[in-house]
Amino acid sequence: MLRYLAGRAAVAFFTLLGVSLATFFLIRLIPGDPILLLMPAEREISEERYQQLIIQFGFDRPLWEQYFRYIAGLFSGDLGISAFTRQPVLSEFMSYFPATIELALTATCFGLLLGVPAGMIAALARGTAIDLGLMSAALVGFSMPVFWWGMILITFFSGYLGWTPVSGRISVLYFPTPTTGFMLADTLLGGDLRAFWSALNHLILPTVTLGIIPLAIFARQTRSAMAEVLNEDYVRTARAKGLSEFRVVVVHALRNALIPVTTVVGLTMGGLLAGAILTETVFAWPGIGTWIVKAILSRDYQVIQGGILLIALVLILVNFAVDVLYGVLDPRIRAGGAS
């Protein structure tokens, strides 16, 4: 097991090194100069100020030297500071990331809670109108643009019915102390139940919007995996032994069907962590998607480099967690990995 973990750590290290290298040089290939963007669009920067800032930001040094300074900083835990806000990249990341995790987790849970049962039902009712209806609904959910979904939900639930807030993480009336950064947890820790409900209420529409595509994916994946597993010999054996249909489906079939679903959950969760930009934009959700995109538009090199590296690290950890979960779900994989 130790060898396995050491191997994974080595792969993670070289992956992160590759990410840092690619991000550092690719972002500099895109035309644009962060120093020019520090100044208003309507005025050109004076040459004197430009040269001063070039030196201040270290852009006068050769690229390789800039890269090695960046890597040296990484080893001492310094990801640099944003050219625009002057805040350390790590501290900025930590202020945005909990919002993204909170939303990605709730969206994944929403997708799992509805998608897996829907896939199961469709698999059990293969070829019937129920199967066709559920899978068609999943296809519709998968095909609709997230931006459009968000606007429709806002218009109907917030605008027309007035049930849910339009955007943000919590009503501006509440300003919970950011202990964990997770709004639900912070409001509960603050002991303010009304603030907690406000935060929960603000999560509903973004969760549904972001969770619709994962829901569709989970439903289709579960259906397909279940359909395959239900034809396996051990399922027939279980039935022949006289086990209840519930036990056959849930304990014997579903557990095995969940292995490929788990892979998809891991990949989807990774996608949600890094790619919830549209949902974040529609709901003015302060997550890392918005943060990174704004940094790219303003060529805030340190934020882009540090932010993408941290996202990569999180994705590596999520995938590692998925691998561990494989082992729990399927002892054969655990045994193989350990050997």
Partner 1 sequence: MNLVRTFIAGALTSLISAGLQSTASAETLVVCTPRSVQNLNAAQQWVTPSVDVMNAMHNRLVEIERGGTKLVPGLATSWEISEDGLIYTFHLRKGVKWHSNPLFTPTRDFNADDVIFTIDRYRDPNHFFHGVGVGSQYFDYTKIDKNIVEMKKVDDYTLQITLAKPTAVFLEQMASESVSIQSAQYGEAMKDAGTPDQVDLQPIGTGPFRFVAFQKEVMTRFAKFDDYWAIKEGDASRGALVDDLVVVVTPDPTVRLAQVKAGECNILIDPSAADVLDLVSTPVEGLALATVPGTSTGLLYCPLLPFSDADQRVPMGDMKVRQAFAHAIDKQAIIEAVFGGATGTVATSFVPPPIPGFVELEPYSRDVEKAKQLLAEAGYPDGFTIELWLAPLNRSYMPNSQRAAELVQADLAEVGVKVNIIAMDMAELRQKRRDAKYAYMAFSGLNMDYPHANAAVDGMFSCGGWSTVCDEEIERLYQAGKVELDKEKSADIYAHLQKRFREVLPVLPLANPIEFQVVSSNVQNYKIHTLGGQAFWGVSIKP
Residues that bind partner 1 (CB under 8 A): 30-34, 36-46, 48-49, 52-53, 56, 83-87, 92, 95, 151, 154-155, 158-159, 162-168, 171-173, 175, 193-194, 197-198, 200-202, 281-284, 286, 290-291, 294, 297-299
**Nearer to partner 1 by C-beta: 222 or 290?**
290
> What token pair was written down for 110?
């929403």
**Nearer to partner 1 by C-beta: 187 or 256?**
187
In whole angstroms, the minimum distance from the beta carbon of 52 to partner 1 comes to: 7
> What token pair was written down for 145?
């643009």
In whole angstroms, the minimum distance from the beta carbon of 91 to partner 1 comes to: 10
20: nearest Cα among 66, 88, 64, 71: 71
Determine whether 29 is exposed, middle or buried from the number of CB atoms within 10 Å of its CB (0-12, 13-18, 19+): exposed
In whole angstroms, the minimum distance from the beta carbon of 220 to partner 1 comes to: 31
In whole angstroms, the minimum distance from the beta carbon of 301 to partner 1 comes to: 11
**Nearer to partner 1 by C-beta: 202 or 252?**
202
Long-range contacts from 163-168, C-beta under 8 angstroms, 24+ separation: 164/201, 164/202, 164/204, 164/205, 165/198, 165/201, 165/202, 165/205, 166/283, 167/202, 167/282, 167/283, 167/284, 167/285, 168/202, 168/283, 168/284, 168/285
271: nearest Cα among 213, 226, 332, 187: 213
**Nearer to partner 1 by C-beta: 165 or 266?**
165
Go through the chain and tell me how many residues it has.
339
SS3 88: strand
**Nearer to partner 1 by C-beta: 124 or 188?**
188
**Nearer to partner 1 by C-beta: 98 or 141?**
98
In whole angstroms, the minimum distance from the beta carbon of 9 to partner 1 comes to: 34
In whole angstroms, the minimum distance from the beta carbon of 126 to partner 1 comes to: 35
In whole angstroms, the minimum distance from the beta carbon of 164 to partner 1 comes to: 6
**Nearer to partner 1 by C-beta: 46 or 136?**
46
Distances (CA, A) of 198 to 26, 154, 195: 41, 16, 5
